[in-house]
Amino acid sequence: MTFEEEFRLKTEEIESIVTKYLPKEEGLQKTVFSASNYGVLGGGKRLRPMLMLETYRLFDGKSREIEPFVAAIEYIHSSSLIHDDLPSMDNDEYRRGKKSTWAAYGEAMGVLAGDALLMYAVETACKAFSLSVNPKNVGKAIEVLASKTGVYGMIGGQTVDVEKTGQPLTEEELDFIYRLKTGALIEASMMIGAILADASQEDIKNTGEIASCIGYAFQIQDDILDVISTDEILGKPVHSDERNEKTTYVSIHGIEKSREKVEELLNRAVSLLSGLSGENRFLEQLIISLITREK
């Protein structure tokens, strides 16, 4: 099977897990369910759940205990996108070619849908307790999920990003935003896969570092594509960072240094991956394709 075929099959598997755990759209509060489900089912790439599941498999995890977390990480990612599109944040009326959640359901419902999904993600992750023979690992995984999402993770990164909008960033601030806003959830994804598969402390630590390299490189590649790609290939307007006078890795270091940094991070991720006490060829190919993507 080619990597593309395997990728398509695995995406379908994840789509079915993410859909299976969604709430039923019923009851007096059904509008919030329907707005949340709209935000989740909007056609995302499902990268975080895939990194989680494949890391779990790398460490020989075989149980269904991973499923609630696979769904939960995508619910958290979706809740962040719903909030990110709100008028008080990026004020985007469209996401993935469709009306964004607030544009389809109204601003108040957009706020509630993001809040609802965030908590529903935790509720869903807790379902792993009854599927696991190792509840201690489930507890540890929930702690990682919460801390990498919250003020020490994604929300902390978004805070600095929002506060500094319209102002030039120092290198330190840019680094903080990249590591937390984008990187933290990717770290949570892979670390949870390792924790639930009962990997050693050393392997969990190195998995976190691999994820950190992936998150950073993913973000720099985003900056590069915004400069060198076209609207057609990227599926969104290019040169948006320059138009919005945003400080990015490319605006500080230039294209060549940025490319070198992506390559350095990719090499580090692949080398750390080969040192883990397990192997997953698909995961390696996934990481390479994510970091070197053209769109």
Judged by the rule CB under 6 A, the positions of this chain that interact with ligand GRG are 44-45, 47, 79-81, 83-84, 89, 96, 114, 118, 154-155, 158, 181-182
Q: Phi first, then psi: what are they for 53, rounded to 5°?
A: -65, -40
Residues facing 94 on adjacent strands = 99
CB of 199 to ligand GRG, least distance (A): 24
Tell me which residue has its CB nearest to ligand GRG. 44
| Residue 80: CB minimum distance to ligand GRG, A | 4
Residue with Cβ nearer ligand GRG (195 or 217)? 217
User: In the complex, what is the shortest distance from the CB of residue 88 to ligand GRG, in angstroms, rounded to a whole number?
Assistant: 10
> Reduced to 3 states, what is the DSSP secondary structure of residue 132?
coil
Cβ proximity to ligand GRG: between 59 and 216 the closer is 216
Q: Based on CB atoms, which residue is closest to ligand GRG, 44 or 203?
A: 44
CB of 47 to ligand GRG, least distance (A): 5
Helix (H, G, I), strand (E, B) or coil at 86: coil
Closest CB to ligand GRG among residues 110, 132:
110
Query: Within 10 A of 143 (CB to CB), how many other CB atoms are there?
Result: 12
Q: Which residue has the tokens 């807790």?
A: 126
Q: Is 1 exposed, middle or buried (0-12, 13-18, 19+ CB in 10 A)?
A: exposed
Residue 85: beta bridge partners? none
CB of 27 to ligand GRG, least distance (A): 22
Nearer to ligand GRG, 155 or 227 (CB): 155
Instruction: Record the tokens describing residue 288, joined without a space.
Output: 């390479």
Direct distance between the N- and C-terminal alpha carbons of the chain, in angstroms, rounded to an integer: 23
